[in-house]
Amino acid sequence: MIASSHRAIAALLAVCTLPAFASTGSPEQEARGAGIANVTLEMSLKPFRVMDEEFIAAISGEMFRQWWPLTRHADRISVLLWIGDGSEILTYQGSLDQEIEWAKYIGGANAEPKPGADLDKLSLHQRHFLYTENPPVVTYGRLKQIVGILKRVGAEVTGKPIRVGATFDPGPEFAKSPFKYDKHREICLGNTMGKATFVCCYSTLNQDEGPYAGFPNGIPQGTRFGVFFGRQCQHFLSDLAFDYIWLSNGFGFGVEAWGVTGAVFDGSDFDTGKIAGVRDKILGFWRDLRAECPEFPIETRGTNLSTGMDLASDGVPLRAIYAGGFNLMPPPNSPWAALNGDFGLELVGYMSHIAEIPGEHFPFRYYVHDPWWLNSPWLDRYGREPHDIYLPASVSRIDVRGRVCRASWIEFLTVDNSYGEMPVACPNEVIPHILRARADAPDQPGPLVWVYPFDAYHEMTFGAQPRVDEVLFGDWFMRLALNDGLPLNTVVSTANFLASREAVPKLYAESVLVAPVPDSGSPLEAALIEIAKAGGKVLLYGPLHAAGEPLLDGLNLALAEPLSGELELDLRSSIDLLSETPYPTRVNHRPLTCAGGIRAVLKDDGDASTRVGATVANGADLRAIAVARQHPEWEGGAVAWVRGTNPNYYRKGAHLLATDDANAWFSGDLLMRFMLSSLGYDFVVSKRTPGQRNPVVCVARSNNGFFFSGYNPNTTVALHLRFPQGAPLLIGFDTALVDGRATYTMPRAWHRECRVFVDQQADGEVSCTEQPSVEYGVTRRLKVSGLKDATVRFYPESPPPRDRVKILANAHYPYTQGAIEYTEAHDGLGRHVVVHNVSGHLVIAW
């Protein structure tokens, strides 16, 4: 017993030792109104190097202690076990003495080098290694013991309810699977990681005479995979005391979880004749699964793409899955941004999946370690920079009652690395950012709100006359727009938008509504026109062929014959500042990925209310692709429209659409950010060449403040900002005001609060800094310096402090002199106080 204890302690120290290069992290920041319903700690079995109860309990206790600064705020803690690849569910025979093939590898578990291959020249995707010498043997009985210990120790350490989940992955990465790749290759219809590598949820099994827990007499020929999998899940989860099942890597959502092609789209055309059949097969899987395994909750990883992309490529009926009563959670944000830096795809995918949800909760997931592929994203891919925390954590959805909802579940992949170590540096460093992001999470709509056509996209896919090219175009276009700096992180489905307007009439008064062009005669068309004519701001995108005359009249546009192909661009609204090479003057408009040709022309060339942002031409044929209109009778309201052209094309074998060279072809999504200027918002970039990547920016409204989060893939690129209320002053930063815009050169990742906006004619250096209270009754104090005959707007925290706000001009400690009068306002610019004609510095206390 003593020897066993010494082994346990020594092994525990080896797992938990802080690497020499790691910092000790930051102190925990207490989150305002944490509201965390669940924290999920995902882990492999690798940390359990010794299969005895004492050691398993020691490892479990250390894990729960490491993450306690976060989980103390949660109602419940879950542990999601990455046991193998899910084949342990498929092969379970009902005996706890049966040995499990588990994920004890680094690299591709099912990759087998060809005879004679030079192993030293093979990548991890071409071979695999054992993660340690003599890894332990795991049986179903041992696994059940681990589940029990996790629940017991977790409850003892945290005092919280603990539940444990199992995983199923359709691919070949994590553990050897003779079931998938030898006995039943027929279920691998997906080519995600090579030919026949991913299990398809609606496949059928060939006859198998072997015994299984749910099929003791073997598997009959033609058994639907959902039936087999569901029955095996019911036995496995029940017998081993699991509480739920996680479906990984897009399983249950079509054939190709990672790619733009699938059962409907092959890269060159849409086979709409397959859509209904594919939809019915996918729904059949979910019904089969629930018929065999009716009660266990289901959590999902979802695909790496978006709702619209999945509909157009694979016919995935997400709306029907959500509405099917299958007791499942919607997918979290994809972890792929950690791999490829495509935060536009992550954010668009996330928002499109949560515009509607099957219940009240949706998750946020963060990639700390990869327990298989020898990388730990927090330490290497992210370089200890928290952009993939603050950007998706700024995302919110608006529900049918007008409530602004943020993620209430937080999930971590994983607490252990590829060697089964749990370096304490990671929770120490990650948790403060998670708590800060929670404290600053949205509680009102952002400056831009995406009215997402969740229902319309399903009807355009499954209706009598499919328009899947528009569905594919829309989400790809928005993915590009966000990657190029469109500041969008609030989403509401069309149905919820229409209902929430009735529930909370002024909910969107401070926001620009961003939406695809609505169909003629639709309730959305009427609502957006009404909003623009009543003083609101609307930004539309996409083709106009289904638009109604009221909308076309509002935009001063008519339709002509479509243009496509290589077109000459006249860019009249370029707001970016390029020092070496200007933006290209050509676009390549491909009808396949751009939802047809370009058709818009002005109805009245002489209309003074119309501003043309860009046109394209083929010889003498001219078409408008970006227009804004602000009619004098609209009470200050405005509507802008961008046709949109995706610089994308399919390249055989690629997961994502390829993109034209930005130095040779203009990327039409940039016009979304450019046209924001006509609606009062400048998000301007200064850089050397078009090919330099632009900052990704999100702006969350929280506690009446503005919280800016960003990812700067090229730290030589600068950002110039102006809002309708003036130039935003980020607390703790200095800025050069130029042409009324605040200029910032940001680090790779950044997250800053803003409560002060400055509007002044003179250029100059301005700053906003936090100051100590040093006065009884004062909670916070800001100092704004460098003002020149400025109008300053300040956004106090909620609830309104009213008499507590004190503004002093050119005052110094002890701040007893210099008080000036201010005006309170609650209008289209929100609730704020304003002072005019200020020079020098202001001290704002409350």
Task: Using pLDDT thresholds of 50, 70 and 90, give the confidence band for residue 118.
Answer: confident
Q: Which of 105-114, 507-516, 658-667 is predicted with the least confidence, judged by mean pLDDT?
A: 105-114
Q: Is the pLDDT of residue 5 over 90?
A: no
pLDDT tens for 416-429 read 999 999 999 999 99
Mean pLDDT of 231-245: 98
Q: Which class for 686: exposed (0-12), middle (13-18), buried (19 or more C-beta within 10 A)?
A: middle
Cα–Cα distance measured from residue 341 to residue 173, given in angstroms and rounded to the nearest whole number:
22
Domain ranges of the chain: 2-439, 448-680, 728-845
Q: Which class for 710: exposed (0-12), middle (13-18), buried (19 or more C-beta within 10 A)?
A: buried
Dihedral, CA of residue 314, residue 320, residue 324 and residue 330, to nearest 10 = 70
Task: Using pLDDT thresholds of 50, 70 and 90, give the confidence band for residue 15.
Answer: low
Mean pLDDT of 209-219: 97
- The fold of 448-680 is Rossmann fold (3.40.50)
**Phi and psi of 404, rounded to 5°?**
-90, 115
Name the residue with higher pLDDT: 121 or 508. Answer: 508
Structure token digits, residue 290: 């629930």
pLDDT at 545: 97
pLDDT at 7: 47
Identify which of 202, 201, 261, 279 has the alpha carbon closest to the alpha carbon of residue 463: 279
Task: Kindly state the percentage of the chain with pLDDT values over 90.
Answer: 90
Cα–Cα distance measured from residue 286 to residue 321, given in angstroms and rounded to the nearest whole number:
8
* Residue 671, amino acid: L
Beta strands 490-493 and 396-398 are parallel
pLDDT at 14: 47
Cα atoms found within 13 Å of the Cα of residue 548, Cβ hemisphere only: 13
**Which sign, positive or negative, has the C-alpha torsion 668, 674, 676, 679?**
negative
- The fold of 2-439 is TIM Barrel (3.20.20)
Structure token digits, residue 323: 């509405």
Q: Is the pLDDT of residue 18 over 60?
A: no
pLDDT at 89: 98
pLDDT at 195: 85
Highest CATH level, class, for 728-845: mainly beta
Q: Is the pLDDT of residue 292 over 60?
A: yes
pLDDT tens for 127-148 read 999 999 999 999 999 999 999 9
Burial string for 806-834 (b: 16+ CB within 10 Å, else e) reads: bbbbebeeebeebeeebeeeeebbbebbb
Q: Do the domains 728-845 and 2-439 match in fold? A: no
Cα–Cα distance measured from residue 475 to residue 450, given in angstroms and rounded to the nearest whole number:
11
Mean pLDDT of 272-280: 96
Task: Using pLDDT thresholds of 50, 70 and 90, give the confidence band for residue 194.
Answer: confident
Asked if 346 and 392 count as a contact pair (C-beta separation under 8 A), the reply is yes
Q: Is the pLDDT of residue 446 over 50?
A: yes
pLDDT tens for 816-839 read 999 999 999 999 999 999 999 999
E strand or H helix that includes residue 416: none
pLDDT tens for 626-677 read 999 999 999 999 999 999 999 999 998 888 999 999 999 999 999 999 999 9
Angle, helices 140-158 vs 53-66, to 10°: value is 40
For the chain, give the number of residues: 846
Q: Which of 10-24, 166-180, 244-258 is predicted with the least confidence, judged by mean pLDDT?
A: 10-24
Task: Using pLDDT thresholds of 50, 70 and 90, give the confidence band for residue 20.
Answer: very low
Q: Is the pLDDT of residue 492 over 70?
A: yes
Mean pLDDT of 309-316: 96
pLDDT at 337: 87
Instruction: Say what the pTM is.
Output: 0.95
pLDDT tens for 703-715 read 999 999 999 999 9
pLDDT at 32: 41
Mean pLDDT of 745-767: 98
Asked if 531 and 498 count as a contact pair (C-beta separation under 8 A), the reply is no
Mean pLDDT of 536-560: 98
pLDDT at 68: 98
pLDDT at 185: 96
Distance from CA of residue 834 to its chain's centroid?
Answer: 35
